[in-house]
A and B are shown apart, each in its own frame.
Chain A
Amino acid sequence: MSEMWINMGPQHPMTHGLWNLRVHVDGEMVLDVDPEMGYLHRGIEKISEDRHYNEVVTLMDRCCYVAGLAWEHLYILSAEQALGIRPPERAEWIRMMSEEFQRLGSHLMWYAAFVQDIGLMAPFLYGMRDRDLVLDLFQSYTGARMTYEYMRVGGVRNDLPNGFTDQARKVCDWLIDRFEEYDRLCLASAIFHKRCDGLGKMSRADCVAYGVTGPMLRSAGSKRDLRKDRPYSAYDRVEFDAATADGADVTARYLVRMEEMRQSVRIIRQALDWLDKNPGPVMAARVPRWLGAPYAPIGNEGYLLKRNYPKGLGLSAIEEPHGEAQAYIVNDGGEHPYRVKFRSPVFANISAAKKYLVGYRIADIPPIMGSVDVCVGECDR
């Protein structure tokens, strides 16, 4: 028969980034796949060993470029545990709100890219339009659209500007209405169902064995959501539900992400109410000075002496838009972290590609990989 290996990537409209999916096909049928990663490996873990703790935040934005604030949050939680610093409560709520807005931004980007993959062109424009509203909010309090450098060890850089909460509520109201519109565009479309139903099945047992997390796992019926199971920041003080679906296919993942966006809006509204009522400091009072100053002030040579600070380890885990992300930081008492190790959910989700791609047709690969929501930046680091 006509068996052959095909390279889909590194430059391919399906990949949404730089990676290569080697596909072994027999005619149309996929017999085997071999993802080839590393085209965007920038050595973030190595560079972090040469940086001060607060300077690593710069790399975190670029690490996952569609969910920068979530990765800043992940890193900061771990660094605070390793250094033994506690942030004030208002900073925790701002971080939680930022992460939820980032989840909206990431899922809207996913919606735009995924729906374009299956052949519907207008939703791309809708998704990008609504994502820009979220980015405008980020810009109003961090100053940037994508690379924020907003969180710091011990808090966040600055408080929210005046009038932010009102503007944010308006955006939430707008988005909630748009989600209905998205569902009408997709779920009412026969093209959508013909291209998505029953594709990319991955059972719950397989997901657990292969380390697949996030919306892919929850689309298989599991309720695991680290915001619920292992609450961090202020997630134990807000009400929300973990979005789940049955079916474990592409449509189920679409439904899970749509429901997650609605739950994010629900969390954000509670956070905005809390932030309105509780002004306060956003930076811990006693943070070592060397954390804030990346370079030695002139005339202060003692700054460069090795500091005498307790050693520690930090492990943080957050429910990132793509799944379960972790950071493990070794603090050996020096100015730089001794070792920083990240766990990327996309890394694990792609590593199981054999399980959800083999047995389908080659034309099914774009919708299936679109439903995985690949962000190569965090996968390769």
Chain B
Amino acid sequence: MSASSVTAASGAVKTPGTELPVVTQPGVPFIEIETLRAKEFLPAAKEALSAMIAERGREDLTQPVFNWAGRNSLFPLHWGLACCAIEFAAAFGARWDAERFGVVPRSSPRQCDLMIVNGTVTWKVAHKLIALYEQMPEPKWVIAMGNCATGGGPFRTAYSVVPGVDKLVPVDLYIAGCPPRPEAMLDGILKLEELIRERKE
């Protein structure tokens, strides 16, 4: 399991008998919280957090909290580069409804933590793409959606096309397809959530 590796890396020593009943791995108390009703959320969160802090120290806990919050509310930047943008839009339509995963496109890069590069990147737009990436607050992730963003796609040899957006910004995840279907895009976002779950600073 991915979460068990976090336990091992955090170096928390667990002795039998002193373990909290809900804590089998660091991510789990927050999953428990997710299932609670809203009015019970804050007291339960406070209780679980103070118990965890008393048990294992503050540093081990803040990162899973941030990761849990971040991966459940990924805000991608709302911009369409080319063909994949249409499938990107279709994923937010009635049939796929990407917002059920907490993915809500925002128009300002300052409100975003995910940039989905959905289309061909040309040299003319390259510095604008970098500027947008730099305006996004940390932590931030980049998904290269489709073959053009991954490696230039059918326009790889053209004079005006950047052969892969990883020449410009660091890419966390590549989605294959020309264009990828909305299911593939949602699968990519879920894969990215797995990556964020394992993230350590």
Q: Do A and B come from one complex?
A: yes
What's the nearest-Cβ distance from chain A to residue B82, in Å?
A: 6
Across the interface, do B86 and A109 meet the contact criterion of CB distance under 8 Å? Answer: yes
Q: Are A129 and B93 in contact (CB under 8 A)?
A: yes
Q: How far is the CA of A18 from the CA of B128 in the complex (A)?
A: 11
**Are A146 and B158 CB-contacts (below 8 A) given A11-B79, A126-B94, A128-B95?**
no
Question: Given the complex, which residues of B lie within 8 Å of A281, measured CB to CB?
Answer: none
**Contact indicator per residue, chain B 89-100, by CB within 8 Å of chain A (1) or not (0):** 110111100000
The CA of A10 and the CA of B121, in the complex, are separated in Å by 12
Evaluate contact between B158 and A46: CB separation under 8 angstroms. Answer: yes
Are B81's CB and A18's CB within 8 A? yes
A288 on interface, CB distance cutoff 8 Å: no
A22-56 interface bits toward B, Cβ cutoff 8 Å, 1 = contact, 0 = none: 00000000000000001111111011001000000
A1-26: contact bitstring with B at CB < 8 Å (1 yes, 0 no)? 00000000011110011100000000
> Is the CB of B27 closer than 8 A to any CB of chain A?
no
Determine which of A11, A12, A38, A128 lies in contact with B93 in the assembled complex, contact meaning CB atoms within 8 Å.
A128
- A20 to chain B: closest residue by CB: B128
**B residues in contact with A233, CB < 8 Å:** none
- CB–CB B181/A145 < 8 A: yes
- On chain A, the residues within 8 Å of B94 by CB distance are 125-126, 128-129, 132
B120 near A40: Cβ-Cβ < 8 Å? yes
Q: Are B80 and A18 closer than 8 Å at their CB atoms? A: yes
A46 touches B159 (CB 8 A): yes
The answer to whether B154 has its CB under 8 Å from any CB of chain A is yes
Q: How far is the CA of A163 from the CA of B139 in the complex (A)?
A: 51
Q: A124 contacts the other chain (Cβ, under 8 Å)?
A: yes
Task: Give chain B's interface secondary structure class.
Answer: loop
A65 at the binding interface (Cβ < 8 Å)? yes
Residue A244 CB within 8 A of the other chain:
no
Q: Are A40 and B159 in contact (CB under 8 A)?
A: no
Report the nearest A residue to B95, measured CB to CB.
A132
Q: What is the bound-complex CA distance between A147 and B119, given in angstroms? A: 13
Q: Which residues of B in the span 96-119 have a Cβ within 8 Å of any Cβ on A?
A: 107, 109, 119
B81 A40 Cβ-Cβ under 8 A? yes
Q: Chain B contacts of A42 at CB under 8 A?
A: 120, 122, 155, 158, 160-161
Complex CA distance for A16 and B118, rounded to whole angstroms: 13
A152 in contact (CB, < 8 A): no
Given A65-B83, A126-B94, do A11 and B77 touch, yes or no (CB 8 Å)?
yes
Q: Are A11's CB and B124's CB within 8 A? A: no
Cβ of B179: which chain A residues have Cβ within 8 Å of it? 65, 146-147
Docked complex Cα distance between A145 and B88 (Å):
13
Q: Across the interface, do B86 and A66 meet the contact criterion of CB distance under 8 Å?
A: yes
What per-residue 1/0 map shows which CB atoms of B69-90 lie under 8 Å from chain A? 0000000011111110111011
Decide if B86 touches A11 in the complex (CB within 8 Å): no
Q: How near does chain B come to A133, taking the closest CB pair, in angstroms? A: 10
Q: What 0/1 readout, one digit per residue, does chain A (129-151) give for beta carbons within 8 Å of chain B?
A: 10110000000000001110000
B132 CB–A CB distance under 8 Å: yes
User: How distant is A261 from chain B, measured CB to nearest CB, in Å?
Assistant: 18
Chain B's closest residue to A128 (CB) is B93
Complex contact B80–A146 (CB within 8 A): no
C-alpha gap A128/B154 in the complex (Å): 27
Residue A96 lies at the interface, judged by CB distance under 8 Å to chain B: no
Alpha-carbon distance A286/B52, docked complex (angstroms): 77
Q: Is A377 an interface residue (CB 8 A)?
A: yes
Q: Shortest CB–CB separation between residue B92 and chain A, in angstroms?
A: 8
B residues near A132, Cβ cutoff 8 Å: 90, 93-95
Mark interface residues in B161-178 (1 if CB within 8 Å of A CB, else 0): 100000000000000001
What A residues does B190 contact at CB under 8 A? none
**Is residue A73 within 8 Å, beta carbon to beta carbon, of the partner chain?**
no
Which residues from B are CB-within-8-Å of A41?
122, 124, 160
Kindly identify, within residues 291 to 349 of chain A, every residue whose CB is under 8 Å from any CB belonging to chain B: none
The complex places the Cα of A16 from the Cα of B78 at a distance, in Å, of 10
- A11: nearest chain-B partner, CB-CB: B79
**Which A329-381 residues sit within 8 Å CB-CB of chain B?**
376-377
Nearest CB in chain A: distance from B87 CB, A: 7
> Closest Cβ of chain B: how far from A123's Cβ, in Å?
11
User: B157 at interface (Cβ–Cβ under 8 A)?
Assistant: yes
Flag if A16 contacts B158 (CB, 8 Å).
no
Bound-state Cα–Cα, A113 to B80, Å: 12
What are the nearest 6 A-B pairs in CB distance?
A: A128-B93, A65-B83, A43-B158, A129-B94, A11-B79, A42-B155
Interfacial residues, chain A to chain B (CB-CB below 8 A): 10-13, 16-18, 38-44, 46-47, 50, 58-59, 61-62, 65-66, 109, 112-113, 124-126, 128-129, 131-132, 145-147, 376-377
| A-B residue pairs in contact (CB < 8 Å), sample of 12 | A13-B78, A39-B125, A40-B122, A41-B160, A43-B159, A62-B83, A62-B154, A65-B179, A128-B89, A128-B93, A146-B83, A377-B82
A18-B81, A38-B124, A40-B122 are known contacts; what are 16 more A-B pairs with Cβ within 8 Å? A10-B128, A11-B77, A12-B107, A18-B79, A39-B122, A40-B81, A42-B120, A42-B160, A46-B158, A62-B83, A124-B93, A125-B93, A129-B93, A131-B90, A131-B93, A145-B181
